[in-house]
């Protein structure tokens, strides 16, 4: 009997002791260092081999390209380049500033850029960003569509001396210099080529930070790069910590274990923790979500189907969905670009105008006139593994169903994994609209239109094709005057409004919450935290 009591007491003591035991053994935080949420990058951290936000975050910190996009206005400004000039919008002269060095002390020269770009474009290196170099003369030799490459270097790149090089494009493209702030165009140090594995182990470049410790799949420590030639960051470094659950990252910020997370789960937004107070950021980012139609399917390409497409656009109550589901972290879309381009950059909310406005009466009328949905039912496809797409797809369907007065008019079609979703898109399997989105690579109106809607473009998943549209894009690219080029781009966008190969849904904002330890936190137009400007208060 006594033994039983004693064991019971022991067990009870253990249960009670748990919290206290757990509270000791805390690891100290380094003073002056920002702790930020991170995700495991999807590809090796090579500049031209990264196209998602986690790898991009690191590249932003360890590299500086010829240009840099202003974190507030997205305006391209000179960074390593002193000037980039051209008389004919096809041949460019690049002049570099003196004094830029890589973290290992070697100089940043014209050769660093030319070698990096040649590496990126060369097919056997299998860099996923290779097509960004497609404008440069000789690309078809180093990266042919079929077969083996016949050259190792882009013939359009010529080194003049350490601080000068020239770029010849295979077509006129006046906005080309403004593309050069994209991470894929970063310079690379000699070590990248001579000892590739060692470089990947601990990547370094010419940016404000350098990687001091990289535990794969878990944590990356970045500290100041002494060789950096720009404005010194206002903190002592950044620790990127991998979280697989956004909720945990959010909880950690509330509890003071983490300083910044730029992935706030939607379910937390409606009821932000009182401790977060006003340390919540919700700013426009260059991301637009659309619903793309399978224009390769004959049933969707008819004149009647155009009426149906227009009807579907009018049947979606964008305001209500962005308010109720996204808590105003998305804004109803009124064109095919993004507000971060601003009016000067080509953003124009009148282009879609009332075609993107909720109008249930007209919507039903148009859909009925067009003979109803092809196949008798509207099936919206999306990937179910990431991104919480189910919620808004269901909301769109509800909206359409209400308009049609038929609770079975529209259904969602979840696809298990993103890879499978992409495979099905690429093989043209969907017979109804599917989720589509575009996150800008560089803040140019061209980036929102050309790669997505021109004939045969890599992201033209609906395989829409319109000669007038292609011609206008080509004309705009060749126009030496950026202002009139933007007018042409907007004209091409008006064809999208007429034809609706994809319906604009909403512009996605960047959101973040941060703790009391850090100040001056903001997101750039790419929805990436601007780490250099953060200050830490210990």
Partner 1 sequence: MGRYVIRRLLQMIPVFIGTTLLIFLMVNVMGDPTAALCGDKACDPATQAALREQFHLDKPLVQQYLIYLGNIFQGDFGTAFNGDSVSDLMLRAYPVTIKLTFVAIVFEIVIGIGLGVITGLRRGKPIDTGVLVLTLVVISVPTFVTGLVAQLLFGMQWGIVKPSVAYEAPLSELILPGLVLASVSLAYVTRLTRTSVAENARSDYVRTAVAKGLPRRRIIWRHLLRNSLIPVVTFIGTDIGALMGGAIVTERIFNIRGVGYQLYQGILHQSSPTVVGFVTVLVIVFLLANLIVDLLYAVLDPRIRYA
Q: Which of residues 226-245 bind partner 1 (CB under 8 A)?
A: 241-245
Least distance to partner 1 from the beta carbon of 184, Å? 13
Q: Rounded to an integer, what distance in angstroms lies between the CA atom of residue 76 and that of residue 64?
A: 13
Among 304, 420, 491, 533, binds partner 1 (CB under 8 A): 420
Least distance to partner 1 from the beta carbon of 39, Å? 8
Compare residues 158 and 422 and give the one whose CB is closer to partner 1: 422
Compare residues 27 and 231 and give the one whose CB is closer to partner 1: 27
Taking CB under 8 A as the rule, does residue 413 contact partner 1?
Answer: no
Among 379, 418, 491, 530, binds partner 1 (CB under 8 A): 418
DSSP E strands: which ranges in 301-372?
Answer: 330-332
Compare residues 147 and 376 and give the one whose CB is closer to partner 1: 147
* Three-state DSSP class for residue 310: helix
Among 87, 105, 126, 483, binds partner 1 (CB under 8 A): 126
Compare residues 135 and 243 and give the one whose CB is closer to partner 1: 243
Instruction: Name which of 178, 176, 195, 117 is nearest 152 in CA terms.
Output: 117
Q: Please give the residues from 446 up to 465 whose contact with partner 1 meets the rule CB under 8 A.
A: 451, 458-459, 461
CB distance 260 to 405 below 8 Å: no
Compare residues 86 and 460 and give the one whose CB is closer to partner 1: 460
Q: Please give the residues from 163 up to 192 whose contact with partner 1 meets the rule CB under 8 A.
A: none
Least distance to partner 1 from the beta carbon of 463, Å? 11
Q: Rounded to an integer, what distance in angstroms lies between the CA atom of residue 509 and that of residue 330?
A: 6
Least distance to partner 1 from the beta carbon of 196, Å? 10
Among 422, 481, 498, 516, binds partner 1 (CB under 8 A): 422
Among 57, 64, 67, 143, binds partner 1 (CB under 8 A): 143
268-307 footprint of partner 1 as x/- string (CB under 8 A):
-----x----------------------------------
42-81 footprint of partner 1 as x/- string (CB under 8 A):
xxx------xx-----------------------------
Among 62, 136, 254, 521, binds partner 1 (CB under 8 A): 254
Count Cβ neighbours within 10 Å for each residue of 71-107 and write b for 16 or more, e otherwise.
beebbbebbbbeebebeebbebebbbeeebbbbeeeb
Instruction: Name which of 223, 45, 201, 198 is nearest 129 in CA terms.
Output: 45
Among 353, 371, 375, 416, binds partner 1 (CB under 8 A): 416
Contacts of 19 (CB under 8 A, 6+ apart): none
User: What's the sign of the alpha-carbon dihedral 85, 90, 93, 94?
Assistant: positive
CB distance 509 to 329 below 8 Å: yes
Q: Rounded to an integer, what distance in angstroms lies between the CA atom of residue 79 and that of residue 254?
A: 36
Least distance to partner 1 from the beta carbon of 139, Å? 11
Compare residues 273 and 487 and give the one whose CB is closer to partner 1: 273
361-400 footprint of partner 1 as x/- string (CB under 8 A):
------------------------xx--------------
Least distance to partner 1 from the beta carbon of 23, Å? 6
Sort strands 434-439 and 260-261 into parallel, antiparallel or unpaired: unpaired
Q: Rounded to an integer, what distance in angstroms lies between the CA atom of residue 398 and that of residue 373?
A: 15
Instruction: Name which of 64, 68, 67, 66 is nearest 102 in CA terms.
Output: 64
Beta bridge partners of 161: 164
Q: Please give the residues from 209 up to 228 whose contact with partner 1 meets the rule CB under 8 A.
A: 215-219
CB distance 383 to 415 below 8 Å: yes
Among 329, 436, 450, 454, binds partner 1 (CB under 8 A): 436
Among 16, 198, 200, 471, binds partner 1 (CB under 8 A): 200
Q: Read out DSSP for 266-292?
A: HHHHTT--GGGTT-EEEEEEEEEEEEE
DSSP E strands: which ranges in 147-236?
Answer: 157-161, 164-168, 209-215, 219-224
Among 16, 18, 160, 471, binds partner 1 (CB under 8 A): 18
Tokens (6 digits) for 81: 């380049």
Compare residues 20 and 87 and give the one whose CB is closer to partner 1: 20
Cα dihedral value 181, 184, 190, 192, nearest 10? 140
Altogether, the residues listed in the chain come to a count of 538
Q: Rounded to an integer, what distance in angstroms lies between the CA atom of residue 271 and that of residue 39?
A: 24
Q: Rounded to an integer, what distance in angstroms lies between the CA atom of residue 144 and that of residue 59?
A: 28
Tokens (6 digits) for 402: 């209400």
Least distance to partner 1 from the beta carbon of 89, Å? 24
Least distance to partner 1 from the beta carbon of 461, Å? 7
Among 86, 118, 127, 225, binds partner 1 (CB under 8 A): 127
- Binding residues for partner 1, rule CB under 8 A, total 78
Among 38, 336, 430, 438, binds partner 1 (CB under 8 A): 438
Q: Please give the residues from 479 up to 518 whose contact with partner 1 meets the rule CB under 8 A.
A: none
Stretch that binds partner 1, among 317-325, 423-431, 504-512, 516-524 (CB under 8 A): 423-431
Among 91, 170, 257, 398, binds partner 1 (CB under 8 A): 257
Contacts of 296 (CB under 8 A, 6+ apart): 428, 462, 463
Cα dist from 522 to 270, 494, 531, whole Å: 21, 34, 8
Identify the burial level of 481 via C-beta atoms within 10 angstroms of its C-beta, where 0-12 means exposed, 13-18 middle and 19 or more buried: exposed
Among 268, 439, 490, 527, binds partner 1 (CB under 8 A): 439
Compare residues 8 and 99 and give the one whose CB is closer to partner 1: 8
């Amino acid at each position: 009997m006594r033994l039983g009591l004693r064991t019971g007491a022991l067990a009870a003591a253990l249960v009670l002791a748990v919290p206290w035991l757990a509270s000791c053994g805390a690891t100290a935080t380094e003073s002056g260092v920002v702790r930020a949420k991170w995700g495991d990058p999807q590809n090796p951290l090579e500049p031209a081999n990264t196209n998602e936000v986690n790898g991009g975050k690191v590249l932003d910190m360890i590299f500086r390209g010829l240009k840099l996009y202003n974190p507030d206005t997205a305006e391209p400004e000179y960074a390593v380049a002193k000037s980039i000039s051209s008389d004919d919008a096809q041949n460019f002269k690049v002049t570099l500033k003196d004094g830029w060095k890589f973290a290992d002390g070697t100089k940043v020269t014209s050769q660093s850029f030319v070698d990096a770009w040649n590496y990126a474009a060369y097919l056997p290196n299998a860099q996923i960003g290779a097509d960004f170099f497609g404008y440069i003369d000789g690309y078809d030799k180093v990266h042919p569509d079929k077969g083996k490459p016949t050259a190792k270097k882009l013939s359009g790149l010529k080194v003049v001396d350490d601080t000068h090089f020239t770029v010849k494009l295979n077509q006129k493209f006046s906005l080309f210099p403004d593309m050069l702030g994209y991470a894929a165009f970063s310079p690379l140090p000699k070590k990248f080529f001579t000892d590739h594995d060692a470089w990947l182990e601990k990547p370094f470049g010419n940016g404000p930070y350098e990687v001091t410790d990289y535990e794969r799949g878990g944590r990356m420590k970045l500290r100041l790069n002494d060789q950096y030639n720009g404005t010194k960051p206002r903190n002592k470094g950044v620790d990127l910590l991998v979280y697989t659950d956004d909720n945990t990252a959010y909880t950690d910020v509330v509890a003071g274990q983490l300083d910044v997370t730029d992935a706030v789960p939607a379910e937390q937004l409606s009821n932000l923790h009182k401790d977060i107070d006003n340390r919540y950021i919700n700013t426009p980012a260059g991301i637009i979500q659309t619903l793309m139609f399978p224009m390769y399917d004959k049933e969707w390409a008819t004149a009647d189907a155009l009426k149906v497409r227009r009807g579907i656009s009018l049947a979606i109550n964008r305001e209500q969905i962005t308010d109720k589901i996204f808590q105003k972290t998305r804004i109803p879309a009124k064109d095919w670009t993004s507000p971060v381009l601003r009016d000067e950059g080509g953003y124009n909310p009148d282009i879609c105008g009332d075609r993107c406005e909720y109008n249930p009466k007209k919507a039903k009328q148009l859909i009925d006139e067009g003979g109803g949905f092809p196949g008798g039912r509207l099936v919206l496809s999306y990937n179910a593994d990431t991104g919480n797409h189910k919620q808004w797809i269901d909301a769109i369907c509800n909206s359409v169903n209400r308009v049609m007065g038929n609770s079975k008019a529209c259904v969602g079609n979840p696809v298990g994994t993103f890879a499978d979703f992409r495979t099905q898109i690429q093989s043209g399997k969907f017979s109804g609209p599917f989720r589509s989105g575009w996150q800008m690579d560089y803040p140019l109106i061209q980036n929102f239109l050309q790669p997505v809607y021109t004939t045969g473009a890599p992201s033209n998943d609906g395989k829409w094709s319109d000669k007038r549209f292609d011609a206008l894009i080509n004309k705009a690219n060749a126009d030496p005057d950026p202002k009139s080029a933007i007018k042409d781009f907007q004209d091409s966008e008006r064809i999208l409004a007429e034809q609706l190969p994809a319906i604009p849904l909403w512009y996605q904002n960047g959101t973040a919450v941060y703790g009391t330890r850090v100040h001056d936190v903001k997101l750039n137009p790419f929805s990436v935290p601007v780490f250099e400007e953060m200050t830490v208060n210990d």
